[in-house]
A and B are shown apart, each in its own frame.
Chain A
């Protein structure tokens, strides 16, 4: 799943709301000039493609590989410390 910014008109963003495997982050919504909106989202590659097909401008902030790598790396570091400290 990538972390992306999606920008478009109200109609475009309404249409992308229904795309499966696309999770819009409610608290990230910003109104932009020209009756446009920006929202962040986590989405699969095909969901991102579908959003583009609906007319949204999409900027990838972290690719699927980047999201996975980041979380996996942090989980490993946290998990190692958790195990070493014998936490429950």
Chain B
């Protein structure tokens, strides 16, 4: 009988996360395979992922889940490991995944919000695992995570470490932001008209300065950790992709590089638009009068209606989180549970508008682009979830209960990812 796996009370180290994955593959060999990424981390660590499926892919849609891209975002890797553990135990024993009633004390001083039990029925788990090819890669950036864990805030802003650990003789220049390093509009000077972009926004979509947290790296996919994500997206032929981050209670859909549009001549690969995409919102006073407002093409035609379906899936993830908190998404009655569990759905490109513009080189945009590179891959639905909130201790949620910050985030991750998997079947 497989052991029950408890909700973690301390963030797992990279070695512990690796051991947890190996344990699952050894404990559930009929359901679960340990895969090794082709590239070791910058600091030479092997990185693994799980494939959870009880049969060859054989036409089943691949769902790829990643976490731990940004080092200081403590919860996603642990939540993804526990998600995998819970699925496998449930599928093996035929028991429901049960989160008991719990409470969470939001900062700065509560009061505690009580949440009812939340259950994922065993037959739902069975349907999902019979219906999808599930890949769980909980820790893309192990070097960064360990550095953040073992070094109390050593960065100038005290928020913790974000990047990987690409070495540099100057300690202030160590690391690359993996989530700006992917091969999608990495060369933002070619993608946008940067003069127009910066006429409205204070900062660019990524940084070329290695001292900055959003440093894009020396070249597209230069980092082994980035190359691993890109490899998995293609190796698995991902149909659904979610990168789990912290924090902000957001379910974000692609694109992140520009507003979505319906003109098939406006694509990231079109040379006619090199250096001419505005990066601005519709109606912006900065839009050049001599050209149309650029919007990155997303098909919305049969049979997949990708643009509409992105919104549908994101909405289902948002609603599932609300239901897990004991709030009915169909009814707008105010309650503490609703107030502290409402995730906003929106497009990545406008996440920070009007204070910041679209961004480039992200994991989800890379996954999303693959359907346009190869129409035979269509469709691909890609998302980022920003779990947790500043009232749940920001990047480093408290794993103790009380206050119950991590435990709440973990429930929300389970709810959202089950909603995605249910849609995918």
Contacts and interface: CB of A to CB of B under 8 A. Distances in A.
Interface of A: 1, 3-5, 10, 13-14, 17-18, 21-30, 37, 39-40, 42-44, 59-62, 64, 67-68, 70-72, 74-75, 77-79, 81-82, 85, 87-88
Interface string B1-15: 000000000110111
Contacts of B13: 78, 81-82, 87
Contacts of B10: 74, 77-78, 81
Interface string B73-96: 000000000000000000000000
B152 A68 contact: yes
B108 A18 contact: no
B401 to A, nearest CB: 15
B131 interface: no
Contacts of A4: 390
A20 B14 CA distance: 33
Interface string B228-263: 000000000000000001111010000000000000
B152 A62 contact: no
Contacts of B246: 27
A62 B354 contact: no
A70 B351 contact: no
B394 interface: yes
Nearest to B392: A61
Interface centre among A44, A62, A72 (most CB of B within 10 A): A62
A78 B352 contact: no
A70 B157 contact: no
Contacts of A18: 202
Interface residues of B, number: 40
Interface in B107-136: 107-108
B15 A75 contact: no
B159 interface: yes
B247 A28 contact: yes
B389 interface: yes
A14 B353 CA distance: 11
A74 B351 contact: no
A62 B392 CA distance: 10
B356 interface: yes
Most buried by B among A27, A44, A85: A27
Interface string B334-367: 0000000000100000011011100000000000
A18 B159 CA distance: 17
Given A17-B355, A25-B394, A27-B250, A85 B108 contact: no
B15 A78 contact: no
A61 B158 contact: no
Given A3-B107, A75-B149, 12 more contacts: A21-B157, A22-B157, A25-B390, A27-B250, A29-B352, A40-B394, A42-B394, A59-B108, A62-B108, A71-B396, A74-B149, A82-B13
Given A25-B394, A28-B390, A67 B153 contact: yes
B110 to A, nearest CB: 12
A25 B352 CA distance: 9
Contacts of A61: 107-108, 390-391, 393-394
Given A1-B153, A62-B107, A74 B11 contact: yes
26 contacts: A1-B159, A3-B394, A14-B202, A14-B354, A17-B202, A17-B355, A24-B355, A26-B351, A27-B246, A27-B247, A27-B248, A28-B248, A28-B389, A37-B355, A42-B394, A61-B390, A61-B394, A62-B393, A67-B158, A68-B152, A72-B152, A74-B396, A74-B399, A82-B13, A85-B16, A87-B16
